[in-house]
Amino acid sequence: MSIHWVQEDLRDAGFGRMPGVGAETFYPEVLDQLYEHKADMHAWLDIHRTAHEIGLRTNCTMLHGHVENAFHRVDHLLRLRELQDQMGGFHVFIPVALHPENTKLSDLKKNSALMELRTMAIRRLILAKLQRIKAYWIMPGIEATRTALADGLMIIMRRFATK
């Protein structure tokens, strides 16, 4: 069974959107440190490209706040932008911050609200053609989530420029 066949079958049965989970972090060295059995970047992008080719919309995600750095986050977003520029099939971007407690990474600190807002701001710059974004209030808090969902890099910059 090919991915294309399965996705066409799902589409024909009324399936219109596909979740974007599993992207985690595209950068191979980071992915290899964290996950043994995850699909690599090429497999994830091919699955979503195939879905977009047959008219399915998909979500795209990025797990951050673990062993990655700014370079890895930007690289991940640029790869998503490349596919969005080619296919236009992403429905929403969902940045997911790691909750390190009760994991093998429990020694890591949680992302700060400021880091969450920076991630949203960078996303707005790199994935400008993707109009929808989700923000989970659990990690950064309600105030930061409201700010993140507001239209604006300027709001974020003004609010935190003096802190």
What pTM did the predictor assign? 0.80
Specify if 7 maps to a domain. Answer: no
Domain holding 84: CATH number?
3.30.750.200
Cα–Cα dist 34/105, whole Å: 9
Domain membership of residue 26 (yes or no) is yes
Query: Torsions phi, psi of 158, nearest 5?
Result: -65, -45
pLDDT for residue 5 is more than 60: yes
| CA 21 – CA 35 distance, rounded (Å) | 14
For 90, the enclosing helix (H) or strand (E) is: strand 90-97
Domain residue limits at 150 = 16-161
Q: How many C-beta neighbours within 10 Å does residue 145 have? A: 20
42-92 pLDDT, tens digit each: 999 999 999 999 999 999 988 887 878 889 999 999 999 999 999 999 998
pLDDT band at 122 (very low <50, low <70, confident <90, very high): confident
C-beta of residue 95 within 8 angstroms of C-beta of residue 64: yes
Give the number of domains in the chain.
Answer: 1
Q: Quick check: is 8 in a domain?
A: no
